[in-house]
A = this chain, B = another copy of it.
Amino acid sequence: MAKLPPGFRFHPTDVELIMYYLKRKIMGKKILFEAISELNIYKFSPSDLPDKCCYKSKDLEWYFFCPSERKYASGFRMNRTTETGFWKITGRDRRVLYDEKFVGSVKTLVFHQGKAPRGLRTDWVIHEYRFEDKDMAVAGFSLVPF
């Protein structure tokens, strides 16, 4: 990826993330600009994730595509545990509208160190982007230190 000129940044809206990046990824279409890295984020500690992102900037936000893994083959619960802790859903989903139509949703998850249901809350937050309400094989994530 070519370096961006000064002042230019990757600051996508929810709609751009869902309707362009995530939709194209799910459909297997090319994305010309490598701003979002493909990575199983649950294999890493939150603090190791920034270095794994292909898009380098001084912004404290990083974007990833991540394969969705079920906790049990038969169920819908996602496996969000990592080696050192787990990502816990916080608050309600945010619905994303485009042209007055529902196009996706955003979950907020906070990293907790240790084992569920206990664990020590940290300042690491991810937003999980889903295309429509379908159970897709890939979700989009943005990571921020709270």
A7 and B10 contact, CB distance less than 8 A: yes
Partner of A5, one of B7, B17, B33: B33
Secondary structure type dominating chain A contacts: loop
Partner of A21, one of B4, B6, B35: B6
Count this chain's copies in the assembly.
Answer: 2
A20 and B7 contact, CB distance less than 8 A: yes
Give the residue name and chain of the B residue nearest to A35 (CB).
Answer: B7
CB of A94 within 8 Å of the partner chain: no
Which of A8, A16, A35 has the most chain B CB atoms closer than 10 A to its own CB?
A: A8
Give the residue name and chain of the B residue nearest to A32 (CB).
Answer: B5
CB of A13 within 8 Å of the partner chain: yes
Task: Report which A residues bind B (CB closer than 8 A).
Answer: 4-13, 16-17, 20-21, 32-33, 35
